Amino acid sequence: MLTGGPLKDRVYVFEQLHFHWGENDYEGSEDLINNHSFPMEMHAVFYKEDYKSMNEALKHDDGLAILAYLYEISPQPNSIYESIIKVLPDIEVVGKGKALEQSLLLGDILVPDIASMQDYFTYNGSLTTPPCLEVATWIDFKDHQQLSHDQLAAFRDLRNPEGNKLTHNFRPVQPLEDRVVYQNIPIEFSPSNNASYDHHFVGHSDNGTARPSVKMPILFVALGALLAIFLFAM
């Protein structure tokens, strides 16, 4: 479960997580920081506990909370993701899945470092897949996660229904419109650490600058385990 921060006292229940990536190491994320794209982004989707289900939550503007993680290339593999990487070659049909040989604790993948999880951008916005409903509170972490080139290549080797490699499953950045993006400020914040941020937005560098907010720590509660991974068409 997830609560605190911009969610205040509302409680959200974990539903699923998924990844977006590109065909090279310079694109793939649906968020930009200082106009810089990243090769992969992960979204962890939670629905509001009061609504009892994902389907019901999609009917309400506060229905979902989505955590977004950006990835950069590291010389060394990230052992936390090995249980996922290992089964990717066995997923050959869209809509089918593969049980992980070793369950992955969600806390390990969603909270790799609790201190860095308090440095984030947040705003109210839409889903990035059709029908792009305006039902989500986005919490996007500033610190980057690490994957090796070979680990990322395992995702790029997955194939779509036509048999082509799935190398472009991310949505281009979208106009900011009238949204306000806030940046949470950890205790150790200094002005030199500030950054401009675009979340699914482009062409709004002034309005897209993150605005400081009061300190809003996020509380992760009772995260379970990830047991299987599935491949879905975009």
Cα–Cα distance measured from residue 199 to residue 227, given in angstroms and rounded to the nearest whole number: 29
Residue type, 207: N
Give the pLDDT of residue 225.
59
17, pLDDT greater than 80? yes
Range 157-169 average pLDDT: 84
Q: In the 8-state DSSP scheme, what is residue 105?
A: E
More confident residue, 208 or 19: 19
User: pLDDT confidence of 208, banded at 50, 70, 90?
Assistant: very low
Q: What is the mean pLDDT of the chain?
A: 81
Residue type, 185: I
* pLDDT tens for each residue of 35-71: 889 999 999 999 999 999 999 999 999 999 999 999 9
User: pLDDT confidence of 203, banded at 50, 70, 90?
Assistant: very low
Residue type, 226: L
3-state helix vs strand vs coil in the chain, percent to 5: 20, 35, 45
Weakest-pLDDT range from 106-110, 145-149, 163-167, 196-200: 196-200
> Kind and range of the H or E element at 87?
helix 82-87
What is this structure's pTM?
0.83
Weakest-pLDDT range from 28-37, 124-133, 189-198: 189-198
Cα–Cα distance measured from residue 42 to residue 226, given in angstroms and rounded to the nearest whole number: 14
Pick the closest to residue 85 from 68, 102, 62 (CA basis): 102
Pick the closest to residue 93 from 159, 156, 152 (CA basis): 159
